[in-house]
Amino acid sequence: MSDRIQFLGTSDGLPSGDRYHASLLLQMAGQTILLDAGEPCSHTLKRMGVDFDSIDAVFITHTHSDHVGGLPMLIQSMWLEQRERPLPLWMPRRAIAPLKRWLHACYLYEPLFKFPLEWHGLEDGTTAHCGNVRVRAFRTSHLNEAQRRFATKHSGVGFDAFSLLLEAKGKRLAYSGDIGRPEDLEALWAVPLDLLIVELAHCPPDRILEFLQNHPVEHVAFTHLSRSAHARLKTLRKRAVQGLRPMKVTFPSDGDAIRF
């Protein structure tokens, strides 16, 4: 069976009536991995019939609320659905302590659960393993401006955002997370990619399309489109298909899945 990734939410950070926030469910080399936990990911997983006990790990690329806002309800859902397996949670290292306090503020105390929460910190260059899947984290510039403005007074959570490169059995998938500039993607294609999932909310789409030309990517999927980009999706899709040929190009909607 081929590996697949399903897009639970494809919206940008703005409120949307027709798109949920960032969350993707990856099935790769026998592992089931949740990438980001934008709300309402637990509702979507339940509606899809996903067993909460089947999720092998959760990776949070950064802690903007549209990428992490569904995490407390996800943990609560796993508790109430009687999950028993340990749950590895990977996220920016300096976000772990604040997120633990957030769960406690929601009355989600670990002694309530039958499953241990295993907290792991991401830093630039971190390598994690989930079964046969190797996951490498690369810091992006997405939060650099926020760091410049707010780090002096609000340093506790850190200002780290990551892209993820996932590899198993000769297949390679990259998830951009949120980026600050196209050059943030450079670290992801030291080797050819079977699938690149890249956001289109924080860089002009034309810059992304130009940057992706002549890179070793078989298939690129654009997600997290800004409201303006989503409004002109038909035109944007045409330009992307023409400009990136022979690369396969898709613009997934919520619920769509890609096999690779």
Domain ranges of the chain: 4-259
Structure confidence by residue, pLDDT tens digits, 92-139: 999 999 999 999 999 999 999 999 999 999 999 999 999 999 999 999
163: tokens are 């892209």
Q: Of 108, 115, 109, nearest to 87 (Cα)?
A: 115
Structure confidence by residue, pLDDT tens digits, 9-54: 999 999 999 999 999 999 999 999 999 999 999 999 999 999 999 9
Active site residues: 66
pLDDT higher than 80, residue 1: no
Model pTM score: 0.97
Task: Report the alpha-carbon angle 39-41-45, nearest 5.
Answer: 160
- Residue 112 CA: distances (Å) to CA of 78, 87, 109, 134: 11, 14, 6, 31
* CATH number for the domain whose boundaries are 4-259: 3.60.15.10
Kindly state the average pLDDT of the residues 164-169.
97
Q: How far apart are CA 260 and CA 26, in angstroms?
A: 11
